[in-house]
């Protein structure tokens, strides 16, 4: 009886450890994030999915990110609110498209003539201080800004031929909010619709085309199949887009996983640089779907000059706007002094 009693007592002591085992297993469950990009599925394969794949592969099962494309969880214009609420954990977008409630909104996407090429964006953020401003402003609203990079220029692909500035008058174009605000002075009618609806909207006549991307994107997402012309003049040399994470989710992430996320983002920046840069050249030279058109540089100077007044207008809106515009002005002075290849002269 004594031996039996000691066995039962030992079993009673061991039981809590047995019951606690599931808690140990639970602690080993991966951290799971839901991540939405501004890009539709075809474009997202190139601009966002490689980053998510890199992170998932290298996180060794500790972090698993599920990727969603444009408007799949929430409309693109609600991305910021969803990120703040924690409905989604991460976002790849420009500030303008996702309706950022910060001064940065007007500069995301395509701020008219702020850049001339894709590499201008990382230089502006890493060497001229834009990264510090973006990080500060998003900390104020509970979102962690991680990194920005450039992509393609903002050209025009249309069903109607453009050979002069006057041909912009009356065009119904799918474009970014700030780009649309700038282009209205030339008679452009900006149209705001979901990204994935733009192709059909051209076919039905709701749109005359897009002022949204370069030629690489036109071919990739199918827009080159429904428009006829590509205007080689642009209103900005590179898209400014960023990666964002819910602030609490980022704070909870272990440091080694933060390093993997950042490494994936930087690797993705490099991939997009060459994918876009090479595509823009190859498709202009060899693409067979869009006829190239150009407004003479002397006439397009009217649009460029309008951007100078637009910058002045934006700079007056807040102290932060002024800081950013001053940086753009400083950088443009530097590259204009440097000459080719920085100004393509």
Question: What is the rounded average pLDDT of the residues 71-94?
Answer: 96
Give the pLDDT confidence of 256-295 residue by residue, as tens digits: 999 999 999 999 999 999 999 999 999 999 999 999 999 9
Question: What is the rounded average pLDDT of the residues 6-15?
Answer: 42
Instruction: Determine the distance from the C-alpha atom of residue 83 to the mean position of all C-alpha atoms in its chain, rounded to a whole number.
Output: 15
Interatomic CA distance for residues 44 and 66, integer angstroms: 13
In order, the DSSP letters of 229-255 are EEES--S-SS-EEEEEEEHHHHHHS-H
Cβ–Cβ < 8 Å for 195, 76:
yes
pLDDT score of 344:
77
CA dihedral 91, 94, 97, 101 (to 10 degrees): 80
Residues contacting 50, CB < 8 A, separation 6+: 267, 268, 271
Share of the chain above pLDDT 70, in %: 92
Kindly tell me if the per-residue pLDDT of 21 is higher than 70: no
Kindly tell me if the per-residue pLDDT of 40 is higher than 70: yes
pLDDT score of 89:
98
Interatomic CA distance for residues 37 and 60, integer angstroms: 23
Cβ–Cβ < 8 Å for 176, 97:
yes
pLDDT score of 343:
86
Question: Which one of 3.90.1150.10, 3.40.190.170, 3.40.50.10210, 3.40.190.10 gives the CATH number of domain 30-151+238-285?
Answer: 3.40.190.170
Of 279, 277, 263, 283, the residue nearest 50 (C-alpha): 263
- Length of the chain in terms of residues written: 345
Confidence of residue 10 (pLDDT cuts 50, 70, 90): very low
Kindly tell me if the per-residue pLDDT of 26 is higher than 90: no
Kindly tell me if the per-residue pLDDT of 1 is higher than 70: no
Give the pLDDT confidence of 208-265 residue by residue, as tens digits: 999 999 999 999 999 999 999 999 999 999 999 999 999 999 999 999 999 999 999 9
| Angle made by CA atoms 272, 148, 311, in degrees to the nearest 5 | 110
Give the pLDDT confidence of 150-176 residue by residue, as tens digits: 999 999 999 999 999 999 999 999 999
pLDDT score of 186:
98
Interatomic CA distance for residues 107 and 95, integer angstroms: 7
pLDDT score of 209:
98
Interatomic CA distance for residues 7 and 10, integer angstroms: 5
Of 149, 150, 148, 154, the residue nearest 118 (C-alpha): 150
In order, the DSSP letters of 75-124 are -GGGHHHHHHHTSSSEEEE-TTTTT-SSGGGGGSB--TTS-SSTTHHHHH
pLDDT score of 211:
98
Give the pLDDT confidence of 174-215 residue by residue, as tens digits: 999 999 999 999 999 999 999 999 999 999 999 999 999 999
Tokens 């890493």 sit on residue: 126
| Bridge partners, residue 92, by sequence | 37, 243
Kindly tell me if the per-residue pLDDT of 3 is higher than 60: no
Interatomic CA distance for residues 16 and 194, integer angstroms: 55
Tokens 């698993």 sit on residue: 64
The two three-digit tokens of residue 137, written as one number: 């402003």
**Mean confidence (pLDDT) of the chain:** 92
């Amino acid at each position: 009886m004594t031996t039996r009693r000691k066995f039962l007592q030992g079993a009673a002591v061991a039981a809590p450890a047995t019951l606690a085992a599931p808690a140990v297993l639970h602690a080993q469950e991966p951290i799971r994030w839901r991540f939405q990009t501004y890009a539709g599925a075809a474009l997202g394969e190139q601009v966002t999915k490689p980053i998510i794949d890199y992170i998932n592969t290298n996180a060794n099962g500790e972090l698993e990110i599920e990727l969603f494309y444009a408007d799949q969880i929430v409309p693109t214009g609600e991305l910021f609110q969803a990120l703040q609420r924690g409905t989604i954990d991460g976002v790849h977008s420009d500030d303008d498209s996702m309706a950022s409630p910060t001064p940065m909104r007007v500069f995301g996407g395509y701020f008219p003539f702020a850049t001339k090429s894709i590499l201008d964006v990382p230089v502006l953020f890493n060497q001229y201080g834009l990264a510090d401003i973006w990080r500060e402003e998003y900390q104020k609203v509970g979102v962690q800004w991680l990194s920005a990079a450039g992509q393609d220029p903002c050209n025009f692909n249309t069903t109607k031929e453009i050979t002069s500035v006057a041909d912009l008058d009356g065009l119904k174009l799918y474009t970014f909010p700030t780009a649309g605000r700038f282009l209205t002075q030339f008679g452009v009618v900006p149209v705001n619709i979901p990204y994935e609806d733009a192709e059909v909207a051209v076919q039905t006549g709701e749109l005359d085309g897009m002022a949204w991307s370069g030629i690489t994107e036109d071919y990739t997402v199918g827009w080159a199949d429904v428009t006829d012309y590509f205007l080689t003049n642009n209103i900005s040399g590179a898209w400014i887009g960023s990666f964002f994470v819910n602030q609490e989710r980022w704070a909870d992430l272990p440091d080694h996983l933060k390093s993997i996320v950042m490494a994936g983002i930087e690797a993705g920046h490099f991939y997009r640089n060459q994918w876009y840069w090479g595509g823009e050249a190859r498709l202009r030279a060899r693409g067979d779907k869009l006829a190239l058109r150009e407004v003479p540089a002397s006439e397009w100077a009217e649009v460029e000059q309008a951007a100078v007044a637009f910058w002045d207008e934006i700079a007056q809106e807040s102290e932060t706007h002024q800081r950013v515009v001053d940086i753009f002005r400083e950088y443009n002075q530097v590259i204009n002094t440097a000459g080719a290849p920085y100004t393509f002269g």
